[in-house]
């Protein structure tokens, strides 16, 4: 976890998720290895019944909370009985469709775009006009959203600054990646 500050107070990724889980009395912290939060299927069902779980397995542009406002929490199945907390994404970042493992070139293209445009100032707004052919997952009105990502295949996360600058290219590569 990377330390952040909000109103000059230290904060870490996942804070809103951990606060909600403590309130609902769900999840088990695992301090010895990643993931550091695990859910049983019954606990996962509690989150689903509260309409907090969304399907991110096909990727797309993620709209929702910034890291500073609690982020969007990534989860995936480790087996038929356990769901793990995988990390945090923020609004206006692009989540690719599952990478099939056979075409490493597309994954390298995503990596190049992401690393070529770094976050310069977390307080800068990154909203932009969304192309019509862009898949969108709109989680803006969800206080503590959980995004289910693909367990068997890898998905890349493109930072919001690279997404803004290269959205059309990301969509183009992702269409090839997913076909």
Residue 9 has pLDDT above 50, yes or no: no
Q: In the numeric block, which tokens belong to residue 87?
A: 């990390």
Average pLDDT over residues 136-148: 96
For residue 154, the model assigns a pLDDT of 81
Per residue in 63-73, pLDDT tens? Answer: 999 988 899 99
pTM of the model: 0.87
Q: Where are the domains of the chain?
A: 3-178
Backbone phi, psi, residue 87, to 5°:
150, -160
Q: In the numeric block, which tokens belong to residue 128?
A: 């932009």
| Residue 9 or 26, more confident | 26
Residue 15 has pLDDT above 90, yes or no: no
pLDDT band at residue 102 using 50, 70 and 90 as cut-offs: low
Identify the bridge partners of residue 85 per DSSP, sorted by sequence position.
Answer: 75
């Amino acid at each position: 976890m990377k330390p952040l500050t909000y109103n000059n107070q230290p904060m870490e990724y996942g804070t809103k998720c951990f606060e909600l889980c403590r309130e609902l009395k769900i999840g088990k912290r695992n301090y010895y290895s990643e993931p550091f939060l695990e859910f049983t299927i019954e606990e996962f069902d509690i989150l689903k019944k509260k309409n907090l779980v969304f399907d991110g397995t096909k990727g797309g542009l993620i709209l929702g909370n910034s890291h500073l406002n609690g982020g969007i929490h990534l989860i995936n199945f480790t087996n038929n009985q356990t769901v793990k907390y995988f990390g945090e994404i923020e609004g206006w970042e692009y989540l690719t469709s599952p990478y099939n493992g056979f075409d490493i070139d597309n994954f390298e293209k995503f990596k190049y775009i992401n690393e070529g445009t770094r976050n310069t100032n977390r307080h800068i707004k990154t909203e932009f006009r969304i192309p019509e052919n862009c898949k969108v997952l709109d989680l803006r009105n969800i206080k503590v959203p959980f995004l289910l990502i693909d367990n068997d295949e890898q998905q890349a996360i493109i930072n919001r600054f690279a997404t803004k600058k290269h959205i059309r290219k990301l969509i183009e590569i992702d269409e090839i990646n997913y076909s």
